Amino acid sequence: MPVKAHRLVIELSPSCLVVTRFDAGVVADVASARFDTPLSGFTPSVLDGIRATLEGLLAELRVQGSDTQATVILSGPGAAAGAHSSPAGVTPGGAIHSARLSLEAICDWPLDNAPVGVLPIARDRAGKSSLNQLHLVAFSINPDVLEAVDGWVTAAGLTFNGALPSDAVRIYHAVAQALKSGACAEDRTDAVLHLDSTAGLLVATKSGSITLVRPITIGLEALVDALLRPIRPAPDAAQTVAIPRGQAERLLRSVGIPTPDAVVPLDPPVRGTALLPALQQVLQRIGIEVKQSLRFGLSESDRAGCTLGIAGMGASVPRLGTVLAGLVGAPASASAADDEPIGIAETLLSLPIARHVLLPVEQVERRTRQRVRTAAVVGGAMALSLVAFNFASDRSLLTSSQTQLDALSAASKQAERTAEAQSTAIAARIAMDGLAGRIDSTLSSGTDWPSFLAFLARTKPDAVKFREINCQTEREGSTARLNGYVPWSEDRTASDTVRSLIDTLSQCPLVQNVRLGATSKSLTADGESLAFEVEARLEPFWKSPVAAKASGEHRSVAGVDGEARP
Amino acid sequence: MSRQPKRNLLAECAIAVLVCGAAQYFVAQPVSRSLAAVRDRVTQLGATGAGGVTGVDARAVSGLIDDIRSAADRIDERNAVLRGPSALLDELTRAAEACSVKLVEVRPLQTVAIEPKPDPAAAAASAVPGAPPPAPAYRDLRSTCHLTVQGSYGAVLAFAKSLSEQIGFTQVASLQVTPAGDGPRDAVLAQMQVHQYQFDTQPVRRATANAGHTPPRSAASPSMQGVQP
């Protein structure tokens, strides 16, 4: 039953095709196929020819579904990678630019429209006798090859995740491992040969700094191929033994490079001397490449104490390091076979370079456009949301502030009106005070003559008869002139009656003084009488009841007599 | 990236930016500006202490103004006696009938303005060279009238008293009582000179005019009548 794999790594080289299925980052299954005839290149027609092979491997791995992402590791023509080192003082941009320039030198296609990756790996650890450098890996794939691989993977029903040159993975891993290793003693040079199935990489370090990075074009596949040749068990044996590829691969991992006396468990068992001639040619080629690289990459003094170790898949081949060290003429150093990953696919997924796979330019542009468009939409939506939030927030605040302002405005207007009314009341009160004062002074200036006459009528002696009462209000005062008479009676008390009248008037508090004028005896209708004239001067300010009433009303209104008002 | 897709992408981004900018400029910013203006206004009003007028009872102030108006109205009602000769005659006739006296003669003498005083504020303004002379702050009038009535002594006294109490601002300036030549034995003839005052309420009216409440009931103004200065 087919299962959906989350991720595939396809190793494509002219000689073989290896598909590794990963589940949750762990190698779940591996399937491989070897081409009888090495591929001439990675053109669409060539890749169409091996589509069936790929589909067969996918079926073997039970992989199906377009949601399975496949990353391709390319080895061979059309894929190039190189290590580059720049002084640490150079800016990152300058280091990347120089790495790109160095990549151009090893690529046989223009890089202008080609996908290129330049990735910093690590810096040297600062040492006393070495130059501190930044190491980068630059890699590129021919755009035609990349498009062909894209189409090939997509046609197999997979999602093309990108491709990387196998050298790029190897360089990144080797350099990172070399710098990560703490075994680099001061003033000692260590060379490590990273050997994979198809190629290798030689890295030399000194005092914690990378001093040499050179690719080795021969891999473990060459040793396996050497074991596939017919083997003569003994020099005088008539028949030869042929080892199948699988058995040869297992033999290489189990026996490695045998000693001449060693018994190799074949059927029939053979001695090491039977295998060594075939292996020796490949080992010589590797040794020569390593030796030449060290000769051209290291100084003579550095070469003198240089040790050689094996890493990568080559570390799992017994005695390979010892034999190669002997061929190179350098002491062998211990290899860390147990710590090394099994294959380049697993190596890739453990490195940051896996996130920098190469894609066809159009696809990159399409993805970039998609991302930019998505970013624009998301950013626009967020900006609009922010604007809407600000709008809603401001609107809410505006409503509450407007309500507050309305209340304050109303209170302000009310206060203005109150102040205006207050000033109006003050002005009106002043005016009313003036009016009341005028009324007071005007009406108080006269004399209440009716009251005086009433008083006179009420208090005069009964015998007194008035012929004329003349009341005058003059500027200097009020004067009442009484012209009357008292009938002359037998008791002859008329004069007393007149005197009584004068006394009565004098005792009146309203009267200032009373003056008796002419008196004479005259004949009246009542007979003989005593006529008299009396002049009474009244107090000048005798407030009339009307005036008092009017003044009281107005003064009360104006607040003069009442309680204090604002 | 080729040029056309790049242009399209740039155009799309520019459109997005323009849409956001336009939304910000045309939608959010006006509200923000309005909010800032309203907040400034609120701050200003808060700083000026709007609504903080305390200790003043607006109703009491309004009531005081209404009381002053009412008082001015009452004064104007009293002033209304001098509104015309017929009104005065009507009042006198009514008083005479009420007091049972015979109104023998009514002779208006003259109407004069009394003690016109300038407004102090206007007087200060007139100190400026070229300014017009200040108008009097008020214009009170005094009308003098000669009356002759006949009746009993008590009735005449009651009539004289009613003049002062019931007919406007009236003051009996002089009074001459003599026995009547004809009629009942106790009949007297009284000749009176009475002053009737009309007090100008316009200063009070002007002062209360700004309050904008009850309009004055009577607009009788001495200045509106024929007056001999």
- What is the value of ipTM here, to two decimals? 0.72
Helix, strand or coil, per DSSP, at residue A521 = strand
Alpha helices in chain B (DSSP H): 3-22, 29-47, 58-79, 85-99, 120-126, 153-166, 202-209
Task: Provide the chain B residues 82-111 that lie in CB contact (below 8 A) with chain A.
Answer: none
Lowest mean pLDDT among A94-103, A540-549, B132-141: A540-549
Helix, strand or coil, per DSSP, at residue A207 = coil
Q: What is the pLDDT of residues B135-146, one digit of tens each?
A: 557 788 888 889
pLDDT for res A185: 58
Q: What is the dihedral of CA B97, B99, B102, B105, to 10 degrees?
A: -90
Instruction: Determine the distance in angstroms separating the CA of A551 from the nearest CA of chain B, rounded to an integer.
Output: 10
Share of chain A above pLDDT 70, in %: 89
Lowest mean pLDDT among A243-247, B32-36, B223-227: B223-227
Instruction: With CB atoms and an 8 Å threshold, state whether A380 touches B20.
Output: yes
Chain A: residue whose CA lies nearest to B50:
A412
Share of chain B above pLDDT 90, in %: 7
Give the residue among A408, A358, A378, A351 at the shortest CA–CA distance from A143: A358
pLDDT for res A530: 87
Chain B: residue whose CA lies nearest to A370:
B9
Confidence of residue A165 (pLDDT cuts 50, 70, 90): very high
Residue range A41-49: mean pLDDT, rounded: 91
Instruction: Please list every residue in chain B whose beta carbon sits closer than 8 Å to the beta carbon of residue A430.
Output: 207
Whether the pLDDT of residue B132 is over 60: the answer is no
Highest average pLDDT, of A150-154, A497-501, B10-14, comes from A150-154
Contact status of A404 with chain B (Cβ, < 8 Å) = yes
Whether the pLDDT of residue A460 is over 90: the answer is no
Backbone phi, psi, residue A228, to 5°: -80, -15
Q: Is the C-alpha dihedral spanning A377, A378, A381, A382 positive or negative?
A: negative
Instruction: With CB atoms and an 8 Å threshold, state whether B38 touches A368.
Output: no
pLDDT for res B149: 93
What Å distances lie between residue A552 and A24, A543, A556, B85, B106, CA to CA? 109, 12, 6, 29, 31
CA B119 to chain centre: 16
Q: What is the pLDDT of residues A4-28, one digit of tens each?
A: 546 899 999 988 899 999 888 888 8
Whether the pLDDT of residue A309 is over 60: the answer is yes
> What is the average pLDDT value for chain A, to the nearest integer?
83
Confidence of residue A340 (pLDDT cuts 50, 70, 90): low
Whether the pLDDT of residue A258 is over 60: the answer is yes
Instruction: Please list every residue in chain B whose beta carbon sits closer than 8 Å to the beta carbon of residue A438.
Output: 138, 140, 199
Q: What is the dihedral of CA A483, A486, A487, A488, to 10 degrees?
A: -120
Highest average pLDDT, of A46-50, A471-475, A551-555, B23-27, comes from A46-50
pLDDT for res B217: 41
Both tokens assigned to B44: 């200003």
Whether the pLDDT of residue B119 is over 70: the answer is no
Residue range A202-210: mean pLDDT, rounded: 83
Helix, strand or coil, per DSSP, at residue B176 = strand
Contact status of A382 with chain B (Cβ, < 8 Å) = no
Instruction: Determine the distance in angstroms separating the CA of A522 from the nearest CA of chain B, rounded to an integer.
Output: 17
Chain A: residue whose CA lies nearest to B201:
A435
Give A18's strand partners.
A11, A32
pLDDT for res A143: 92
Bridge pairing between strands A477-487 and A511-524: unpaired
Instruction: With CB atoms and an 8 Å threshold, state whether B62 touches A557.
Output: no
pLDDT for res A564: 32
Instruction: With CB atoms and an 8 Å threshold, state whether A390 touches B50.
Output: no
A503-509 long-range contacts, CB within 8 A, separation 24+: A504/A459, A504/A460, A504/A461, A505/A456, A505/A459, A505/A534, A505/A536, A508/A455, A508/A459, A509/A539
If you search the block for the tokens 């000033």, which residue do you land on? Answer: A423
Number of Cβ pairs < 8 A linking chain A and chain B:
231
Q: What is the pLDDT of residues A319-338, one digit of tens each?
A: 898 899 888 888 887 655 44
